[in-house]
């Protein structure tokens, strides 16, 4: 039986075992998937111990280890290079450790395929400039928006990300106060303001007609960002689909199978 796991600290609340076991069951794959709590100061040893098992094939990596997983990887995908972070490790047939990042692909797949929102030729605004946002910018640019803007409480961090991603497409940093009326078709919240229940300094009227708003966060409670967007007339969605789709992309990397996600997404929605 091939072995997989998610590794993080804390790890108790991770939904990855639930999701990947469901994927394995629905595709008749014989595999195990566990949760591993890594000591904060011993990530690389914990990873080495896992992969020392002959049946160990892959790991998902979550907070706060995605940058360390990037550093440990012997081969990096373009997505992982752009993200500067790895959420999916795979032991290759050649014995090397491959690092990938499926977060951006998960986000774009949820938005374009599950929700049917178009990204190409749209004016996208991303709010936040932390690790979560860096993880998705490369894949968002690859979707060929008309423009991609980043807005952050600390403007210098948005500026730095815009510089970093310039080689990959049309990207600019803006201050919240610089956002123009009617200027945004798709707004994506990747800041952690939602998680702490705080609202963002977004002015009224910045969204264009028929705008769509996506929060990368999810949970039982209403997210303040989505409440704002709804009041502005936007179509809204939380990030639960991104969670399932990034997992489906990891599963594809490991098993070579594209697993259907709709039924599981609906089930997990009821479990929140």
Residues near ligand ATR (CB under 6 A)? 128-133, 152-154, 157, 191-193, 196, 198, 200
Q: How far is the CB of 141 from ligand ATR (least distance, A)?
A: 18
Judged by CB, which is closer to ligand ATR: 26, or 172?
172
User: Closest separation between CB of residue 2 and ligand ATR, Å?
Assistant: 30
Pick the closer one to ligand ATR by CB: 123 or 153: 153
Asked if residues 76 and 90 have their Cβ atoms less than 8 Å apart, the reply is no
Pairing of strands 147-151, 123-127: parallel
Residue 151 CB, nearest distance to ligand ATR (Å)? 9
CB of 129 to ligand ATR, least distance (A): 4
Q: CA of 60: how far to CAs of 129, 133, 138, 179, 251, in Å?
A: 23, 18, 20, 37, 10
Contact 215, 195 (CB under 8 A): no
Closer residue to ligand ATR (CB): 84 or 169: 84
Selection from 256, 269, 220, 261 nearest residue 244 by Cα: 261
Tell the smallest beta-carbon distance from residue 131 to ligand ATR (Å).
Answer: 4
Strand partners, 7: 36, 61
Neighbours of 38 (CB within 10 A): 22
Closest by CA position to 65, among listed 75, 73, 57: 73
DSSP state of 91: E
User: Which residues have CB under 8 Å from 27's CB, separation 6+?
Assistant: 255, 257, 259
Which tokens belong to 231?
A: 């009041």
Rounded distance between C-alpha atoms, residue 214 and residue 193, angstroms: 14
Of residues 126 and 247, the one with the C-beta less far from ligand ATR: 126
Instruction: Give the nearer residue to ligand ATR in terms of CB position, either 126 or 212.
Output: 126
- Listed in sequence order, the residues at least 6 apart from 209 whose beta carbon sits closer than 8 Å to its beta carbon are 182, 233
- Catalytic residue annotation: 66
How many CB atoms are located within 10 Å of the residue 224 CB?
17
């Amino acid at each position: 039986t091939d072995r997989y796991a998610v590794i993080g600290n804390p790890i108790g609340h991770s939904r990855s075992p639930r999701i990947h076991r469901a994927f394995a069951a629905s595709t008749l794959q014989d595999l195990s998937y566990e949760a591993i709590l890594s000591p904060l100061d011993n990530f690389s040893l914990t990873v080495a111990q896992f992969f020392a098992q002959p049946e160990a094939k892959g790991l998902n990596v979550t907070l706060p280890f995605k940058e360390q997983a990037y550093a440990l990887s012997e081969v990096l995908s373009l997505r992982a290079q752009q993200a500067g972070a790895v959420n999916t490790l795979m032991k290759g047939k050649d014995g090397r450790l491959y690092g990938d990042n499926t977060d951006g692909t998960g986000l774009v797949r949820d938005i374009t395929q599950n929700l049917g929102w178009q990204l190409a030729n749209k004016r996208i605004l991303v709010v936040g400039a932390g690790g979560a946002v860096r993880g998705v910018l490369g894949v968002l640019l690859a979707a060929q928006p008309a423009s991609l803007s980043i807005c952050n409480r600390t403007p210098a961090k948005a500026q730095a990300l815009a510089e970093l991603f310039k080689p990959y497409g049309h990207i600019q940093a803006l201050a919240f106060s610089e956002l123009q009326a009617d200027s945004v078709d798709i707004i994506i919240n990747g800041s952690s303001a939602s998680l702490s229940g705080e609202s963002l300094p977004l002015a009224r009227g910045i969204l264009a007609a028929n705008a769509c708003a996506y929060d990368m966060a999810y949970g039982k409670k209403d997210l303040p960002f989505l409440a704002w967007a709804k009041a502005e007339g936007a179509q809204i969605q939380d990030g639960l689909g991104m969670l399932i789709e990034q997992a489906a992309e990891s599963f594809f990397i490991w098993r070579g199978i594209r697993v259907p996600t709709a039924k599981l997404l609906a089930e997990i929605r009821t479990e929140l």
